[in-house]
Structure 1
Amino acid sequence: MDLVPLISIALGLSLLMTMAWAVQRVTGSSGWIDAIWSIAVGLGGIAAAVWPDIGAVDERRIVVGLLVTIWAIRLGGHIAARTHGAHDDPRYAKLMQEWGKDGPRNLFLFLQIQAAAAFVLVLAVRLAAINPHASLAITDVIGVALLITAIVGEGVADAQLRRFGKTHKGAVCDTGLWAWSRHPNYFFEWLAWVAWAVIAFDPGNLWSLVAAAAPALMYYLLVYASGIPPLEAHMLASRGDRFRAYQRRVSPFFPLPPKTPAPQTTHQGDPS
């Protein structure tokens, strides 16, 4: 595998996350960090798909580039719209409070770690783009179906939460997809990276297995690190017993039938 495009993309991701750090310092709103990260992964994925170091830019590369573009525009656009005019992201705000005077320096280093994580994801897109299958394989069909499902599912979850928040201020969203998973948007985001690993898979190429690092990393980040733990800590602090009841009733990540019916008199939910 040619290292020139990978090194170039890694440097570009680092630069974009440095820009995200600068935007946070100027605006004081850390919500823009995740929006810029999404666009950075999208741009890195496009570059990874069409970088012409191995053969011509064929149909596979074009399709991969288009799919990662759609993913990035939807997710980045959603986060940017949510961030505009909103309060600071509670996860980053808590980190900055804990870091104290070292906040700016630690945030910069933290965002460079995010750039490294983005590179792992972009590598999966690269492997999907240079998969040597001469024709459409069953893994391509399955992977594209999973990716479309993930993009649509995450969009539906975000829309349901947004509509709920407009009419149930300070409540916990437990309707629609949110009745089956406390974080359906996170689940579908993870599913998207499962899809890229499936598209990249080639039985004759051991390198293709490296793409499995993308969903593995995303699962760890969402379930154990920067996703569910800090968000649910914020929800417990702001919603208390209402959110504890929601936790007891609804699966944290994978969509599953709720253990008991939701109360009919109040809605108790999640603002992500």
Structure 2
Amino acid sequence: MPRLSSMLPFALVGVALLLAPATNGSAGWNLLVQVVLFTLAAAIPGYLTRHVSYVDVAWPWGLVGIGVVTLLTADDLTAVTVGVSLAYLAMGLRMGLWSLALTMKHGWWKPGAPKVELPRYQYQRRRWERQGFRNETLSVQYEIWLQGLANATVLAVPAFLVAGDPQRPLSFWSVLALTLWVASFVLESVADKQKQQFAARGSRGTCDTGLWRYSRHPNYFFQWMQWNALVLLAVPSLLTLFSDTVLPVWVVLAAGLGLVSWTLYVTLTKHTGARPAEYYSLRKRPDYARYQATTNMFFPGPVKTQRDQ
């Protein structure tokens, strides 16, 4: 029952996307794309190996799918529609190419090759135990399809609202939102690069330089800000579609737009992001407890001193 209740908000938003005249075509094609992608790239290999990690391939390529569907189903390719599509393509390709290279490097797609679950999904198994979930096969499929459902519904809302608003001009608001997205995308990339450079130097301690000096997870924070930028970009289109959409459907779409930010925040701070990462960092790095005490977990801020604590 708890698992079904967690899927219900996504399902309601998906129904609203299919019922709204401006988004139903894009939503229908996206549902098909996500089902095929997650079945082939995650659900089947996950069933065969009992590993959730394949979803890290399916999820970002699902974002690519949303970007492609938006481009192909939009009534008119306005500058804003192209901008939101490119944002999804960039986010998806950046993570998708990395995850595909990682899984190929470790032989995940070779029959009989040993498979190692990613740490965040090893941590997920601890949650299953605490919550009393004993059926591993069911739990693996739940984790995979929860992310698939998110791609098919809530996470597609900004793109499909913009695509469903073909008369929208490139306004100051649109430029501001897209600029915020670009800046956040660049800063996420910078944070990842700084972490890679730190590791390449052979350092065994905790990376606390550059953006990592002000947040323990700046890459996650700026990934979240990219989604907030897309939410802001879609707000004018949501308001424009009010007159052509049945009120209950419009209300669910508005709630879905808000769920984009909330879903990514919970995911990046608790579900598969900061919390499992820090669980293992505390065990591998003796200085990580000090880093936790002096540096904000998610939102960037000044370094704390003992007097601040």
Tell me whether the two structures share a fold, i.e. TM-score over 0.5: yes
Residues of 2 paired with 1:186 and 1:194: CA distance?
A: 13
2:217 is the alignment partner of 1:151: no
Q: How does 1:41-52 map to 2 (within 5 A)?
A: 41-52=63-74
Q: Deviations over 1:212-259 (max 9, x none)?
A: 3211211122123221111111212222x4111110011100111211
Q: Deviations over 1:55-86 (max 9, x none)?
A: 33333322322222122112222334455546
Residue 248 of structure 1: which of 280, 286, 293 is its match?
293
Residue 91 of structure 1: which of 120, 141, 145 is its match?
120
Residue 221 of structure 1: which of 267, 271, 275 is its match?
267
Which residue is equivalent to 1:21? Answer: 43
Which residue is equivalent to 1:68? Answer: 88
2:304 is the alignment partner of 1:259: yes
Residues of 1 paired with 2:49 and 2:305: CA distance?
A: 43
Relative distance call for 1:5 and 1:128 in structure 2 (3 A) is closer
Which residue is equivalent to 2:138? Answer: 105
Which residue is equivalent to 1:10? Answer: 31
Residues of 2 paired with 1:88 and 1:169: CA distance?
A: 25
Q: In the TM superposition, what is the alpha-carbon distance from 1:172 to its structure 2 partner?
A: 1.3
Structure 1 stretches lacking a partner, 5+ long: 262-272
Contact 2:43–2:141 (8 Å) recurs in 1: yes
Contact 2:63–2:91 (8 Å) recurs in 1: no
Residues of 1 paired with 2:189 and 2:198: CA distance?
A: 14
Relative distance call for 1:16 and 1:159 in structure 2 (3 A) is same
Residues of 2 paired with 1:85 and 1:169: CA distance?
A: 23
Residues of 1 paired with 2:273 and 2:97: CA distance?
A: 19
Relative distance call for 1:217 and 1:94 in structure 2 (3 A) is closer
Question: Secondary structure, in 3 states, of the residue corresponding to 1:92?
Answer: helix
Relative distance call for 1:204 and 1:126 in structure 2 (3 A) is closer
Residues of 2 paired with 1:6 and 1:237: CA distance?
A: 44
Question: Secondary structure, in 3 states, of the residue corresponding to 2:135?
Answer: helix
Structure 2 stretches lacking a partner, 5+ long: 1-19, 107-115, 243-249
Q: Deviations over 1:170-225 (max 9, x none)?
A: 42111111111100110011001101111111144454744232112111221232
Residues of 2 paired with 1:79 and 1:157: CA distance?
A: 17
Residue 147 of structure 2: which of 93, 102, 114 is its match?
114
Question: Secondary structure, in 3 states, of the residue corresponding to 1:141?
Answer: helix
Q: Deviations over 1:19-69 (max 9, x none)?
A: 2233456678754421321111221233134314xx333333223222221
Question: Secondary structure, in 3 states, of the residue corresponding to 2:216?
Answer: coil
Residues of 2 paired with 1:242 and 1:81: CA distance?
A: 31
What TM-score, normalized to structure 1? 0.83
Contact 1:31–1:88 (8 Å) recurs in 2: yes
Residues of 1 paired with 2:38 and 2:158: CA distance?
A: 19
Question: Secondary structure, in 3 states, of the residue corresponding to 1:231?
Answer: helix
Contact 1:13–1:41 (8 Å) recurs in 2: no
Question: What is the root-mean-square deviation of aligned Cα atoms in Å?
Answer: 2.7
Relative distance call for 1:21 and 1:134 in structure 2 (3 A) is closer
Contact 2:70–2:159 (8 Å) recurs in 1: yes
Residues of 1 paired with 2:165 and 2:225: CA distance?
A: 20
Q: Deviations over 1:105-143 (max 9, x none)?
A: 311121111112223111122113334553222220111
What TM-score, normalized to structure 2? 0.74
Question: Secondary structure, in 3 states, of the residue corresponding to 1:201?
Answer: helix
Which residue is equivalent to 1:173? Answer: 207
Query: Which structure ranks higher in relative contact order (CA pairs < 8 Å, sequence separation ≥ 6)?
Result: 2
Relative distance call for 1:218 and 1:68 in structure 2 (3 A) is same
Q: Which amino acid in 2 is paired with 1:217?
A: T
Residues of 1 paired with 2:169 and 2:78: CA distance?
A: 11
Relative distance call for 1:76 and 1:190 in structure 2 (3 A) is same
Contact 1:127–1:211 (8 Å) recurs in 2: no
Contact 2:67–2:86 (8 Å) recurs in 1: no
Residues of 2 paired with 1:15 and 1:61: CA distance?
A: 25
Q: Percent identity?
A: 26
Which residue is equivalent to 1:264? Answer: none
Residues of 2 paired with 1:254 and 1:155: CA distance?
A: 17
